[in-house]
């Protein structure tokens, strides 16, 4: 089981800029917890996401000497990918590809067709530079815009991504509307249909709904789950009241109850949770 800690997702919607030194201190604590991957920042326009304007500075100050945790940075276009790939510390690039045409425009100012073109170019760049591309299927469980949605559409997107050589795909519940039955149905089908793909679950949920969503994803065969300490975050471009990410501490608790052996240092996690108050209050 891989846990992907997402402080970038948690910080990006904050109104007040988190000082660079505070980001670095917090991220370095998270690097000691035992997560598989840290989604730490993004190479996007500072006009769109001003909170992440210091990502290039942050990455060079992270202490990777005593951790096996890998780094993931989000990009929204080829230019962002070109900015990210020179950093040897970064193993993964993440790209948000929306199942909703409306949200793709809001999130990256491109059509879905144009976004697929970007994915192809970024995938080619990643292969040349020794990186791996993770594609997030935003609005993967429906959308608030009235755009067409069905599990079959998600399957079609997945098929196209597989043809491009994408091996890690994460359907994302961008607005937190998914039910446990929808999670079981979608992931259960995708895992069986594409056995060579590593499917991740990037879900948003209230704390009371988190354990059952984690259980549903795990029982459906998901072995990669995104989470955030104390459940902070939510997409600032989704035009809805933010629903937080799955709280890391609740994800760890639920998976442990399900008998999953996680490489998480409980003391380091507690220290990171304490440190989070200086970032999020």
Provide the 10 A C-beta neighbour count for residue 7. 25
CATH assignment at residue 60: 3.20.20.70
pLDDT at 238: 46
Q: Give 257-261 contacts, CB < 8 A, sequence gap 24+.
A: 258/215, 258/218, 260/1, 260/218
What does each of the 281 residues of the chain score in pLDDT, given as a tens digit? 999 999 999 999 898 999 999 999 999 999 999 999 999 999 999 998 999 999 999 999 999 999 999 999 999 999 999 999 999 999 999 999 999 999 999 888 899 999 999 999 999 999 999 999 999 999 999 999 999 999 999 999 999 999 999 999 999 998 888 999 999 999 999 999 999 999 999 999 889 999 999 999 999 999 999 999 999 875 554 444 456 899 999 999 999 999 999 999 999 999 999 999 989 87
Query: Quick one: pLDDT at residue 235?
Result: 54
Confidence at residue 170, expressed as pLDDT on a 0 to 100 scale: 98
Distance of CA 197 to the CA centre of its chain: 16
Range of the domain at 173: 2-280
Between CA 244 and CA 215 the distance in angstroms is: 18
How far is 130 from 54, CA to CA, in rounded Å?
24
| Residue 273, pLDDT score | 96
Give pLDDT, residue 111. Answer: 96
65, 98 contact by CB (below 8 A): no
Nearest partner of 107 among 131, 139, 142, judged by Cα: 139
This prediction's pTM: 0.94
Return d(Cα 226, Cα 236) in angstroms, integer: 17
Integer angstrom CA distances of residue 117 from 97, 134, 164, 177: 11, 15, 10, 29
Q: How does DSSP classify residue 201?
A: B
Q: Which helix (H) or strand (E) holds 168?
A: strand 168-173
Note whether 81 and 115 are within 8 A (CB). Answer: no
CB 27 within 8 A of CB 89: no
Rounded-to-integer distance, Cα 251 and Cα 3, Å: 9
CA dihedral 211, 237, 164, 202 (to 10 degrees): -10
pLDDT for the residue 240: 47
Candidates 146, 148, 136; CA nearest to 173 is: 136
Domains in the chain, number:
1
Q: Which residues contact residue 19 at a Cβ distance below 8 angstroms, ignoring those fewer than 6 apart? A: none
Q: What integer pLDDT is reported at residue 18 of this predicted model?
A: 96
The two counts, helices (H) then strands (E), for the chain are 12, 9
């Amino acid at each position: 089981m891989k846990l992907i800690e997402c402080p970038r997702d948690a910080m990006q919607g904050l109104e007040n800029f988190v000082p660079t030194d505070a980001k670095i201190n917090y991220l370095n604590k998270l690097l000691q917890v035992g997560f598989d991957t840290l989604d730490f920042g993004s190479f996007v326009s500072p006009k769109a996401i001003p909170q992440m304007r210091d990502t290039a500075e942050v990455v060079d100050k992270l202490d990777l000497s005593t951790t096996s945790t890998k780094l993931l940075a989000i990009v929204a276009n080829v230019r962002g990918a070109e900015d990210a790939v020179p950093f040897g510390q970064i193993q993964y690039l993440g790209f948000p590809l929306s199942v909703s045409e409306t949200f793709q425009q809001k999130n990256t100012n491109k059509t879905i067709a144009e976004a697929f073109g970007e994915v192809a170019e970024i995938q080619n760049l990643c292969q040349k530079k020794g990186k791996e591309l993770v594609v997030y299927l935003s609005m993967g469980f429906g959308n608030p815009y009235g755009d067409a949605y069905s599990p079959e559409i998600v399957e079609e997107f997945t098929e196209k991504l597989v043809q491009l050589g994408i091996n890690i795909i994460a359907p994302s519940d961008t607005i937190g509307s998914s039910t446990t039955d929808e999670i079981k149905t979608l992931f259960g089908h995708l895992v069986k249909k594409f056995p060579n793909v590593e499917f991740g679950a990037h879900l948003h949920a209230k704390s009371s709904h988190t354990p059952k969503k984690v259980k549903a994803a795990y029982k459906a065969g998901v072995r990669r789950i995104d989470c955030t300490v104390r459940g902070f975050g939510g997409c600032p471009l989704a035009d809805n009241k933010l629903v937080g990410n799955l709280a890391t501490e609740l994800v760890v608790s639920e998976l442990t109850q399900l008998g999953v052996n996680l490489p998480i240092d409980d003391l380091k996690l507690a220290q990171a949770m304490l440190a989070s108050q200086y970032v999020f209050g």
